[in-house]
Amino acid sequence: MANVTLTFPDGNQREYARRITAADVAADISSSLRKKAISATVNGAHWDLQWPIESDSSIALNTMKDEEPALELVRHDLAHIMARAVQEIWPDVKVTIGPVIKDGWYYDFDRKDPFTPEDLGMVEKKMKEIINARDAVRTEVWDRTRAIKHYEDNNEPYKVELIDAIPGDEPLRMYWHGEWQDLCRGPHLQHTGQVPGDSFKLMSIAGAYWRGDSDRAMLQRIYGCAFLNKEQLKKHMNMLEEAAKRDHRKLGREMNLFHMQEEAPGQIFWHPNGWRIYTELQDYMRRKQYAGGYVEVNTPQVVDRKLWEQSGHWEKYQENMFIVEVDEEHAREKAVNALKPMNCPCHVQIFNQGLKSYRDLPLRMAEFGSCNRYEPSGALHGIMRVRGFTQDDGHIFCSEDQIESETATYIEFLSGVYKDLGFEQFRVKFSDRPEKRSGSDEVWDKAEDALLKATRAAGIEPEMNPGEGAFYGPKLEFVLTDAIGRDWQCGTHQVDFVLPERLDASYIGADGDKHRPVMLHRATLGSFERFIGILIESHAGKLPFWIAPRQVVVASIISDADDYVYEVVAALQAAGVRAEADIRNEKINYKVREHSVGKVPVILAVGAREVGERTVTVRRLGEKQTKVEALDSVIKTLSLEATPPDKL
């Protein structure tokens, strides 16, 4: 049998018989490594220790100290262990699929009776029994006929359907965890005892249609989370507890910001307090964009399908668009329009009005564009994931040699906005061509090369995010980290050679000939709705003073102080502070508690002493101590805090 040469990370090479397994390689190196090894990385691919190696390869052996592959294996094995536990408790349950997801895994089951929270406790107990049994994990490759017969004999129709969907040339790998078996690509650990038994938890139960098709069976999905040790699990559970306290939907009710209802799915009813945040943020962005050389425009919300066909959205994005049919007068057929899901084609229409010269470039165009996109009802999430939203959208029309400078200018602009809003740092991802796209490979090569060079020239080395670009061009994604460590993708910056070509945009160059502009799509906040949700959760409702909808409540302690309360409110309002009076016949502790729940940043208490001394007692949100201060001093301080950062 021919030999294979394996190259290790340190550059050393060893020769082995062809079809040697990574487990045998680990044993050959040392008995200690044989026990510690959990998987291998072979030619950059994650490799099961039991899989044979057919040719010369690079190899690295992974242990539990290698966090990324270890987490993947632990979570994947737990999906199988959970499915085994469910079928051992309820043998009539049918199994489907159980992939690894962020922080854990899920598995979908077909069961007549709904799972209950008590059932999850039973499943967890059974899973720990399976882990403690240290049952061996083994794998085999079967032909399709054998695999289908196996699942038909065991009354597992979902597995038969999965096999039918797998391409004919792809091997069918079968895995056993003890005597329990599943169809799976792998890799997996070598025995169930390698899973840490104290670092996972079953989290919740949800419904899920088979294959995501609402016409198919409704399955029951059990979610779990898992880490490499109990300290990591505890940290994650504490983060989830903190996130629940910060949930923008809960705080939105307490602060009386907005509500949503079933008659308008994915749409927001903004209350006065919430709309105040919205307009303050919009006014701030309007000033920043004006200072950044943008011209503001506004474009229609309902546009004929012809424009969407020209732009490519009708072909590439139609499933996310709301279609509107209208009986136009004297027309033989209904006019087919769509609510705009984005603003870019409309901005090209404005650019195309009148002759443009190279001297007009770069032309920075901005719009607070109201957009509508269809999202499945199950994907909607408060104001974070909606169907109707407003983007702080912008498009920069420039020449190719301006891409680098405009990208650097925009990153500087975006950095300033994020810093003003409390986000000092962000990460940048580079998303290249998706499978579903417009434009030739040559155009994409040019666009990706230009954006990557421009990003690096701006001093940023982005993380690579393969296949996640827009259908018309590659993009940068700007990822914020909030106060409890969660990541939020907000801003984007995209290079587009496709739309200007499709929509026939041009300018007259210095040579007197027509040229195509490059179109840079950019959004800083992304959508106002989602960004406001992020702000609420990151600040736990304690918003920066300048953007807080209710900044100050002046509360009376006795009714004889009512006139002074109104005087204080008027003085604060004259100084640009949003202030309101609370002269209800309630105890001051009740008022303080109520306004604290509503996340009012400052409460000024006024009683007989304050009236006589022309002072106020200052209580700031989250602080137990109060402080008596002169009224003039408080007005000066709060007026400064109420000033937006771009005006300081």
Burial track 573-597 (b if 16+ CB lie within 10 A, e otherwise): eeebbbbbbbbeeeebeebbebbee
Residues 75, 248, 276, 373: which is the catalytic one? Answer: 373
- The answer to whether 550 and 535 are in contact (CB under 8 A) is no
Burial track 148-185 (b if 16+ CB lie within 10 A, e otherwise): bebbeeeebebbbebbeeeeeeeebbbbbbbebbbbbe
Residue 587 falls in the annotated catalytic set: no
- The answer to whether 548 and 614 are in contact (CB under 8 A) is no
3-state SS class at 595: helix
Residues 126, 313, 340, 475: which is the catalytic one? Answer: 475
- The answer to whether 226 and 98 are in contact (CB under 8 A) is no
Residues 126, 395, 522, 539: which is the catalytic one? Answer: 395
Residues 77, 393, 432, 582: which is the catalytic one? Answer: 393
Residue 28 falls in the annotated catalytic set: no
Residue 393 falls in the annotated catalytic set: yes
Its sign, for the CA torsion 124, 129, 131, 132, is positive
Residues 159, 521, 550, 599: which is the catalytic one? Answer: 521
Residue 521 falls in the annotated catalytic set: yes
Strand-pairing partners, residue 45, are 42
Residues 77, 177, 289, 344: which is the catalytic one? Answer: 344
List Cα–Cα distances, 283 to 173, 280, 431, 548, in angstroms.
Answer: 58, 5, 31, 14
Q: What are phi and psi of 477, to 5 degrees?
A: -115, 130
Q: One-letter amino acid identity for 401?
A: D
Residues 391, 402, 494, 551: which is the catalytic one? Answer: 391
* Helix H or strand E segment including 617: strand 615-620
Rounded Cα distance, 38 and 13, in Å: 21
Nearest Cα neighbor of 293 from 399, 401, 412 is 412
CA angle at residue 46 from 44 to 48, to 5 degrees?
135
- The answer to whether 575 and 632 are in contact (CB under 8 A) is no
- The answer to whether 567 and 581 are in contact (CB under 8 A) is no
Residue 84 falls in the annotated catalytic set: no
Burial track 452-470 (b if 16+ CB lie within 10 A, e otherwise): bebbeebebebeebeebbb
Catalytic residue list: 344, 373, 391, 393, 395, 475, 521
